[in-house]
Homo-oligomer: A and B are copies of this chain.
Amino acid sequence: INDGSSLENLQVVADPSLENRDLTFGSAVEVQGKLVKSPHKMQNMELKAETIRVVGPCDIWSFPLKMKERHPLEYVRQFPHLRCRNNTLGSLLRIRSEATAAIHSFFQDNGYVHIHTPIITSNDCEGAGDLFQIEVKKTHFFNVPAFLTVSGQLHLEVMSGAFTHVFTFGPTFRAENSQSRRHLAEFYMVEAELSFTESLQDIMQVMEDLFKTATSTVLSKCPRDVELFHKYMAPAQKDRLEQMLKNKFVTISYSEAVEILKRASQTFTFKPEWGCDLQTEHEKYLVKHCGEVPVFVINYPYDLKPFYMRDNEDGPQHTVAAVDLLVPGVGELCGGSLREERLPFLESRLQRLGLTDAYQWYLDLRKFGSVPHGGFGMGFERYLQYILGVDNIKDVIPFPRFSHSCLL
């Protein structure tokens, strides 16, 4: 029997007289008896049953999970209402719960104020496209078009005007028509914003600290559950993680990254060129080139990045103070930047985009006691994928939503 508190079952030893035809795999039972030392090596204790009551029987013929079978993740994914009773998903969800708590603790211990940034928003943020619009029987309930948030950043920037450090940890949305193993329509993001920060390195330090602290906590709090993944899905991941927790993350600039890619003997589908986005194949190569460790790439081309990123005022290759954290297997795990806190810079960029009116409130933040600040976001599902070595993002969230699928 198992109560869901760990991967370990409690062995019940019962007299044949207690047998019951309803006592099948998957049924819910109440057992009374004596907890005794077990003669078996595999377990410390066992329960010598005195009474066994079947609380809820289970029709094993139609129950899609079978006893002692290792079901592939693709198989159990078909049963979103039952797969949590599978060992792997059970472990995953316990780890997810601990990781959530560890992330909250990290920020609380460091004096961050937790902000519930809104889900429904009239902003389309960075013009990220791919927004879900919401409707009430074809009327504009809010008078204005309203969307599901793609990021809490702008709202956290509001709050960073009142509190030195703030964070949010909630659902975000993309209406991308993607069937990739790294994308969901609904996913969780951890975001932080820091006031009085003039260096991108300060932001990167928080990203690295968050990653290492949360990961250490998860490894120490759920050793058995994590072991299940490292043993059966990603045998090399355990050593890699331990190495990684000891070493400092690597940092290269975007310009260096392009040089590395140009020198590569490998031929890419997309030719690396200064001014172009890094593609998945490029990110993979860079991570491999650096020794399969997390890599910060900093200072991206000005023209590639959204209006709120801080102008580095360099040239001729004009960049902004942006950073992406790339990790083996998963690609982009975090993204961050210093924000443009200087009113004239921000004004001219918004004007060029024709967004001055829509972002008047955002400009206000620079008019009334503006401070240098910056922040970042980390995709929570990708984080879980990375530390556990889970190939498909649909297997690290309780109820995955993606294009053509919204079960339950």
Contact = CB atoms under 8 A, between A and B. Distances in A.
A131 B136 CA distance: 7
Given A120-B185, A142-B405, A170-B171, A115 B58 contact: no
Interface in A346-394: 361-362, 364-372
A136 B26 contact: no
Given A81-B158, A406-B122, A141 B132 contact: yes
Contact of A341 (B56, B57, B104, B143): B56
B5 A361 contact: no
Contacts of A133: 134-137
A113 B4 contact: yes
Nearest to A131: B136
Contacts of A146: 406
A104 B93 CA distance: 16
Contacts of A56: 341, 366, 368-371
A177 B143 CA distance: 12
Given A116-B96, A122-B406, A405-B142, A163 B4 contact: yes
Interface in A170-198: 170-171, 173, 175, 177, 185-186, 188, 196
Contacts of A3: 163-164
A388 to B, nearest CB: 16
B123 A155 contact: no
A361 B399 CA distance: 14
Nearest to A342: B56
Most buried by B among A89, A154, A368, A372: A368
20 contacts: A3-B163, A5-B163, A56-B371, A80-B361, A81-B364, A82-B368, A93-B115, A93-B159, A97-B113, A100-B114, A101-B114, A117-B399, A118-B408, A119-B171, A120-B132, A132-B134, A134-B148, A142-B404, A170-B170, A361-B408
Given A84-B163, A116-B188, A133-B134, 20 more contacts: A4-B162, A4-B164, A5-B111, A56-B369, A57-B369, A59-B367, A81-B362, A82-B158, A90-B163, A93-B113, A93-B162, A96-B114, A120-B148, A120-B186, A132-B134, A133-B135, A133-B136, A133-B137, A134-B135, A141-B177
